[in-house]
Amino acid sequence: MIGIEKEKLLDLFLGYQIPWHTSSVVWKKSFFNRIGGFDEGLLRFQDVEIHIRALAEKDSTIFIDDHSLPTSFYRKSAFHTKIDLDKRVFILNQGIIFLEKIKVILGCDGLSKTYSLFLYLMFRFEEVIDRRQLKLIKGIYFSDCKNLQLPFSVSLMIFLHEKVLKRPRRSRKLLAFGIYKFHLAINKQ
């Protein structure tokens, strides 16, 4: 086993660059109980949220098995990738709840590391984002976190949705995707 820097792993989860999935982790029952187990109120993002809480624990230690072969495979079929508009709204709303939880768990400092997730939500669910949801998302970042320095990509995404292309359209989706990819490229983990 090799030791790994917890802060780096926490940053990956906060940036929605998920380094492992839920069944890849072995936890002591006492630790799992101490951090409160899964948040049953979250219907999406609960796997990412529990890893964030676990990695945020001061006295936890992380070890990663050093295997060069894959330990699991992810099924990606048309059934699993096809999402109707109602499900898109549901996932977006769960993402907003998830961001609120991160703010509670880690405060503004932790929230400042979620910009990749913010941008992902803005481009991935672009066709269902309305003014109310955009206002909620902005409120999470701006209400108590006055000193947050938004990266250019986040400011540009907000400008795109509020001033340039206020309604969903193909061009906004493409621009939002470009902003997201630009952000990932200049903020490589």
**Closest CA relative to residue 64, chosen from 2, 141, 108, 109:** 2
What are the Cα distances from residue 139, in Å, to 36, 100, 123?
27, 10, 18
Nearest by Cα to 53 from 5, 14, 94, 4: 14
C-alpha–C-alpha distance, residues 129 and 179, integer Å: 16
Band (pLDDT 50/70/90 cuts) for residue 96 is: very high
**How confident is the prediction for the chain on average, in pLDDT?**
85
Residue showing tokens 């250019």: 152
Which tokens hold the place of 164? 């340039």
Non-local (6+) Cβ contacts of 140 within 8 A are 96, 99, 100, 103, 111
- The whole-number average pLDDT for the span 1-8 is 68
> How much is the average pLDDT of 126-155?
88
pTM higher than 0.85 for the full model? no
Q: What are phi and psi of 77, to 5 degrees?
A: -120, 175
pLDDT of residue 66: 65
Tokens, residue 158 = 């907000």
